């Protein structure tokens, strides 16, 4: 069996398992299971967004959790004022993210390497402390939602929210797969390896990198929107640089520059975390070395393990 078929079957089995979670939750009358796996899916969606710039564009952002926060707080703040229409929440989330990701991306992309990382981190910390200071909306203690996004008969139905989130994750995987195979994706991947050569060939790389950054920000904001509706709670903690770092680990763990890898990385990291929490209260001491060992031992991540030796060599050579 060729690697692509093998990976296709594994991806289908993972998505099938996630699709069966609501059935189990309903039969066992256990809504916590739905919230638990829903949170995993929301992080998987955010990791997919980050992978577009990190895995395919080589842009290491330490500020993408900021966009998760925008999506979550849009739901929280509008609901507090009595605006509960779900489509309004989505529209405002998209507009806020667009208005902020355009200048942030434009400024950050004028730099490279460590400077890019520090600028994205600086903007994220700026908004993090801004939301911490918003006492009206719970400050650093966060805000419990009295009303979730309103979609008529499905309002407040966690089963509907979960299945919508799963559908969005599947659609995002498909769209990113199409995107990276298009001319846009080919230019983006080329800029990761040699930006100057792309410009020398007559294609300006900056618009491609900026658009990729803005698309990834929108995907992360959508993740925050679902996170708020799944958990019924928003907090500045979701905007912390630690969450951005965790997203980077998810991308690396799953397989940077692979289409489905971030989903595997997000599920893998959160399951490893929770498994270690059951073993010891000192779980962070074990998590770090374990993740480092996996990332160093499997250069293509968990998803890349299923690549053939020939495909792995091709990716290492930078032609993927």
In this prediction, residue 3 carries a pLDDT of 61
DSSP letters, 71-135, are: HHHHHHHHHHTT--BHHHHHHHHHHHHHHHHHHHHHHHTTS-HHHHHHHHHHHHHHHHHHHHT-G
Which of residues 81 and 201 earns the better pLDDT score? 81
- 184-195 pLDDT, tens per residue? 888 888 887 777
Strand (E) positions, 158-297?
Answer: 233-234
In this prediction, residue 178 carries a pLDDT of 94
pLDDT reading at 56 higher than 60: yes
d(CA 70, CA 92): 10
pLDDT reading at 175 higher than 50: yes
DSSP state of 150: B
In this prediction, residue 4 carries a pLDDT of 67
Q: What does residue 118 show for φ and ψ, rounded to 5 degrees? A: -70, -35
- Residue 294's H or E segment, with its range, is helix 283-297
In this prediction, residue 319 carries a pLDDT of 43
- 244-257 pLDDT, tens per residue? 999 999 999 988 88
* Bridge pairing between strands 143-144 and 233-234: antiparallel
In this prediction, residue 42 carries a pLDDT of 96
Q: What does residue 144 show for φ and ψ, rounded to 5 degrees? A: -85, 135
Give CA angle at 77 (84, 79), nearest 5°.
20
User: Which two tokens mark 233?
Assistant: 């709670």
| Dihedral angle of Cα 93, 97, 258, 120, to the nearest 10 degrees | -140
In this prediction, residue 154 carries a pLDDT of 61
- 63-94 pLDDT, tens per residue? 999 999 999 999 999 988 888 888 999 999 99
In this prediction, residue 248 carries a pLDDT of 92
| Dihedral angle of Cα 180, 218, 171, 61, to the nearest 10 degrees | 50
d(CA 166, CA 143): 25
Radius of gyration (Cα) for the chain, nearest Å? 19
What average pLDDT does this structure show over 175-182? 92
Q: Which of 106-110, 192-196, 220-224 shows the highest mean pLDDT?
A: 220-224
Share of the chain above pLDDT 90, in %: 48
């Amino acid at each position: 069996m060729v690697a692509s078929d093998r990976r296709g079957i594994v991806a289908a089995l993972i998505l099938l398992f996630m699709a069966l979670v609501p059935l189990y939750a309903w039969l066992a009358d256990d809504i916590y299971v739905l919230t638990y796996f829903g949170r995993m899916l929301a992080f998987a969606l955010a990791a997919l967004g980050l992978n577009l710039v990190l895995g395919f564009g080589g842009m290491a952002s330490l500020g993408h959790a900021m966009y998760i926060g925008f999506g979550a707080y849009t739901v929280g703040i509008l609901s507090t004022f009595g605006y509960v229409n779900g489509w309004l929440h989505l529209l405002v989330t998209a507009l806020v993210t667009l208005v902020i990701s355009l200048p942030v991306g434009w400024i950050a992309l004028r730099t490279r390497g460590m400077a890019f990382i520090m600028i994205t981190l600086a903007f994220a910390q700026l908004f993090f402390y801004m939301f911490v200071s918003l006492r009206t909306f719970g400050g650093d203690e966060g805000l419990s939602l009295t009303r979730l996004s309103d979609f008529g008969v499905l309002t407040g139905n966690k089963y509907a929210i979960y299945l919508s989130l799963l559908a969005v994750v599947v659609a995002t995987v498909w769209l990113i797969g199409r995107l990276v195979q298009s001319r846009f994706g080919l230019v983006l991947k080329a800029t990761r390896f040699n930006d100057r050569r792309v410009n020398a060939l007559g294609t300006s790389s900056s618009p491609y990198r900026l658009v990729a950054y803005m698309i990834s920000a929108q995907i992360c904001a959508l993740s925050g929107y679902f996170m708020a509706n799944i958990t019924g709670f928003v907090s500045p903690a979701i905007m912390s640089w630690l969450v951005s770092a965790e997203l980077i680990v998810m991308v690396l763990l799953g397989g940077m520059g692979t289409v489905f890898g971030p989903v595997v990385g997000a599920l893998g990291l959160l399951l490893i975390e929770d498994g270690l929490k059951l073993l010891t209260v000192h779980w962070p001491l074990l998590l770090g070395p374990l993740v480092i060992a996996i990332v160093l031992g499997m250069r293509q991540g968990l998803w890349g393990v299923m690549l053939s030796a020939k495909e792995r060599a091709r990716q290492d050579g930078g032609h993927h």
